[in-house]
Structure 1
Amino acid sequence: MIDLANAVLASPELPRAALAELLARHGESPDDLTGRAFSEGDADGLRDAVRRVTGILAEADTDRAAHAINALLAECGARPHLSRHGGHAWHLHVDRGEDASWADWFLASSALALAQILTEYGRVPWGECAAAGCATLYLGTGPGSARRYCSAACASRERVAAHRRRKRASG
């Protein structure tokens, strides 16, 4: 979800082939990503769905994020069900079944994942990088304090910039 969101943020009209490659890297069957199984229309719908989820991933307020996730879950309106396909083990799906579009699948599964993460941490552990000039989204579910940066490089760059500002201000 984060990789798709960052890819679409970086390239709003990310080509169908690039979306398919990204989905395949995250475990989707290459057979499900060819021809009619993943059309240009599917790619358009998926890009729109990713942009909607990106709004939640950029939300820092836990209550607003929870309400947005609830609204998305209500919109998806599908019952959870166990699914096993493409050589995968049984896993939870919340989309509308085998006929669900790629956009429906992404919205429903993202809403469920974000709901599970928010309840596990009791706060929003995702966000937009706090580094100046960086809008990369991150998911900070590791140990330690809450994350503010997408990478160690951005965090270091910000610390160095703050240090230089303090040195200039002092003299």
Structure 2
Amino acid sequence: MPGRGFRPGERLIDLANAVRADPELSRDALAELLAHHGESREDLTRREFSRSDAEELRAAAARLAALLAESDTDRAAHGINVLLAECGARPRLSRHGGHSWHLHIDQGDDASWAEWFLASSALALAQILTEYGRAPWGECAASRCGRLYLGTGPGSARRYCSTACASRERAAAHRRRKKADG
């Protein structure tokens, strides 16, 4: 998707939610999600995105999902710092697959898919946290939802993954109040 740019925060949310919904998400489904977020199908094939790579990527997504469920900014920052320290790489500019220059912090072009995903996601979360001064992500507060969200839009802090969940919760609260008033 040349011109779309990299949106690692959105990619992180989509992969983390997909793996939370299906911890055994197939290699093909993961490859499709990666392609949707700008990775070329040629890259996915050329780099031999194997079942083992998919297993490691699922584990990385699950680890990041736990971090995204952390609403305390200090604990989230500590978790991000742990991930960045594990990456152990210096930032570098990279251009590939028709994309413009962008920042990488993985170990290089031979880094595994999981290493790349952890590093790029940690960098994205660090940038987002410093921009907002808080952790603007979390787990949807709607009962029976639990999807992760990234609340980087305008307005006050989010509590729901979507307007549909927020509306359902407001309507349910209204019904409870009316019932309590009798």
Q: Does 1:80 align with 2:91?
A: yes
SS for the counterpart of 1:158 is: helix
Please give the alpha-carbon distance, in whole angstroms, between the structure 2 residues aligned to 1:126 and 1:19.
22
Match for residue 132 of structure 1?
143
Please give the alpha-carbon distance, in whole angstroms, between the structure 2 residues aligned to 1:138 and 1:124.
11
Match for residue 134 of structure 2?
123
The share of aligned pairs that are identical, in percent, is 77
SS for the counterpart of 1:34 is: helix
Structure 1 gaps, min length 5: none
Match for residue 115 of structure 2?
104
Please give the alpha-carbon distance, in whole angstroms, between the structure 2 residues aligned to 1:133 and 1:71.
31
Match for residue 153 of structure 1?
164
Please give the alpha-carbon distance, in whole angstroms, between the structure 1 residues aligned to 2:38 and 2:68.
22
Matches for 1:1-171 after TM superposition, within 5 Å: 1-34=12-45, 37-171=48-182
SS for the counterpart of 1:38 is: coil
Please give the alpha-carbon distance, in whole angstroms, between the structure 1 residues aligned to 2:45 and 2:52.
13
Q: Give TM-score, length-normalised by structure 1.
A: 0.98
Please give the alpha-carbon distance, in whole angstroms, between the structure 1 residues aligned to 2:163 and 2:19.
22
Please state how far the C-alpha of 1:34 moved relative to its aligned partner: 2.4
Amino acid at match of 1:47: R
Aligned residues: 171
SS for the counterpart of 2:90 is: coil
Please state how far the C-alpha of 1:37 moved relative to its aligned partner: 1.5
Q: Give TM-score, length-normalised by structure 2.
A: 0.92
